[in-house]
Amino acid sequence: MKTIDELLADGVSGKRVFVRADLNVPLADGTITDDGRIRAVVPTIKALADAGAEVVVASHLGRPKGAPDPAFSLLPVAERLAELLGTPVAFAEDTVGHAAHAAVDGLEPGQVAVVENLRFNPGETSKDDTERGEFADRLAALADVYVGDGFGAVHRKHASVYDLPARLPHYAGYLIAREVGVLKKLTDDVRRPYVVVLGGAKVSDKLAVIDQLLGKADRLLIGGGMAYTFLKAQGHEVGISLLQEDQIPAVKEYMERAEKNGVELVLPVDVLVSPEFPDLKTKAPSQYTVVDADKIPADQEGLDIGPKTRELYASKLGDAETVFWNGPMGVFEHPDYAEGTKAVAQALVDSDGFTVVGGGDSAAAVRTLGFDENAFGHISTGGGASLEYLEGKTLPGLAALED
């Protein structure tokens, strides 16, 4: 795929450049709580603006129902982008209507505009090729050139991600180029030992990537809610812990394959349990105990890996040359259950290997728990996209950028 450097070399002064970013940031009462995805696309936008382009930035935010919804407006994002760029950013109150065309027509070389949430238009996410194509035509009328830099959306066959690049000269932005380069280090050019840490709530979300990793990784460390399905598959009581019983046969099969393939699959040896889920709003202290992973009481719920498991996982990461981590080890949003996730993050910081934090809740946890982002080899902006790439799937947004 062509990169933004090639576009800049050809010259963009006076050209309208459509940047498909991923500005899907978390909001609380209209306030951005994590601006990592905005900061990630700033280098691409700034490079284009500094070269004299008229930059039109577009993104989705949340899951509106194909119609305008003030709760999902990109206005706070545009305001934060202006702060990060140190220059005014125009904001259009629609995506392809009069406001968008007025904002774009008003741009001078080096200026930036953000159009409203792409998902306020049903054509953006439509499964009908014609409807999606018609929306892509309207987006194409806003620009001369397309730059794809929304890595967190490249696994979606959406109009601005998949259809629009076919209608304009297209290039990959700095963020996408970097994300793809990192993922190739996890698939094509792996330094060993290669250790993968998987957590999060549902084992069903990770089965496809586990299937692929059983032929690539040297060790798999399992935590989070998904660990309890593995423990149940071993015949252990898991109480009222998160459990996907329908996935137990698949988990048993993968455990057998791991042993056959010589992949070390490591499960928690102790966990923090409580009779009730903690209050994530007040963060009030929770009643919990530490028990061995095979001795979870029938009326209690596992909420984090225990101290022995933290030490075990840190030791399993100690000699790693490559690490990929996706998914927290527990309910990290509550201080009583953050230590497992914190221990994994610290082990990555202490590692001499190439460490990748796979976006989503893992990236949020790194920031929430106060870690220096520069202490990791790479923090991805797209957890879902990263997993699908590692699963071996063709990502529509990347395929569309290929010539």
Report the C-alpha gap between 254 and 247 in whole angstroms: 11
Known catalytic residue at 360: yes
Instruction: Please report, for residues 29, 71, 83, 98, 118, the alpha-carbon distance to residue 76 in angstroms, rounded to integers and kept in the order given.
Output: 11, 11, 11, 21, 15
Element of type H or E holding 91:
strand 89-91
- Compute how many other C-beta atoms are within 10 angstroms of the C-beta atom of residue 86: 7
Catalytic residue among 37, 119, 138, 157: 37
The pairing of strands 219-222 and 264-266 is: parallel
Pick the catalytic residue from 123, 148, 353, 384.
Answer: 384
Residue 370 φ/ψ region, left for φ over 0, alpha for ψ in the -120 to 50 degree band, beta for the rest: left
H or E, element range at 158:
none
Q: Mark whether 202 is an active-site residue.
A: yes
Q: Give per-residue burial for 295-333: e unless 16+ CB within 10 Å, then b.
A: ebeeebbbbbbbeebbebbbebbeebebbbbbbbbbbbb
Residue 371 DSSP label = -
Catalytic: which of 239, 360, 382, 397? 360
User: How far apart (Å, rounded) are the C-alpha atoms in residues 206 and 352?
Assistant: 26
Q: Is 382 labeled as catalytic in the residue annotation?
A: no
Residue type, 130: T
Which tokens go with 195?
Answer: 């250790």
The secondary structure element, H or E, covering residue 20 is strand 16-20
List CB contacts of 279: < 8 A, sequence separation 6 or more.
Answer: 286, 334
How far is 401 from 384, CA to CA, in rounded Å?
Answer: 19
Q: With contact defined as beta carbons under 8 Å apart, do 96 and 138 qualify? A: yes
Q: Which of 202, 216, 257, 308 is catalytic?
A: 202
What phi and psi, each to the nearest 5 degrees, are found at residue 219? -140, 145
Retrieve residue 58's tokens: 């577009």
Q: How far apart are CA 401 and CA 403, in angstroms?
A: 6
Nearest CA to 398 out of 233, 227, 156 is that of 156
Q: Say which residue the tokens 């990784």 belong to.
A: 217
Please provide residue 89's backbone torsions phi and psi, each rounded to the nearest 5 degrees: -125, 120
Active site residues: 37, 202, 360, 384
